[in-house]
Amino acid sequence: MSESEVRPWGRYEVIDEQPTHKIKRIWVKPGHQLSYQRHKFRAEHWFFIAGTGLAIVNGHEIGVHAGSTVDIDIGQLHRIRNSGTEDLIFIEVQTGTYFGEDDIERVEDDFGRV
């Protein structure tokens, strides 16, 4: 049984969760982006499987497409933006010591979340 969440920017599904990692499949709708955020307890590895977008890590912009990867260390500010016309889909592998959704510090958000 997998956990699934709908968000204003798209949705995600938890594929696997263990004490050492959490894996999600994330869909970002065209023209949308996640909040500019960081985490205290986890690093993330993103592997893109469909669509095109722009990853921003500590202010550096990285164009992404199917086959691209992006690594985010603990504490780095990051976000992903869908710059294409179809869903941007990627696999997120979280590693660290805690994977709760409350380990999100948002510094910018299109939807007014804190």
Q: What is the pLDDT of residues 6-62, one digit of tens each?
A: 999 999 999 999 999 999 999 999 999 999 999 999 999 999 999 999 999 999 999
- Fold for 4-99, please state it: Jelly Rolls (2.60.120)
Q: Of 36, 33, 30, 4, which is closest to residue 17 (Cα–Cα)?
A: 4
Give whole-number Cα distances, 103 to 15, 41, 43, 54, in Å.
Answer: 19, 7, 11, 23
Report the side by side order of strands in the sheet with 21-28: 4-7, 10-18, 21-28, 88-96, 42-50, 69-72
- Asked whether the whole model's pTM tops 0.75, one would answer yes
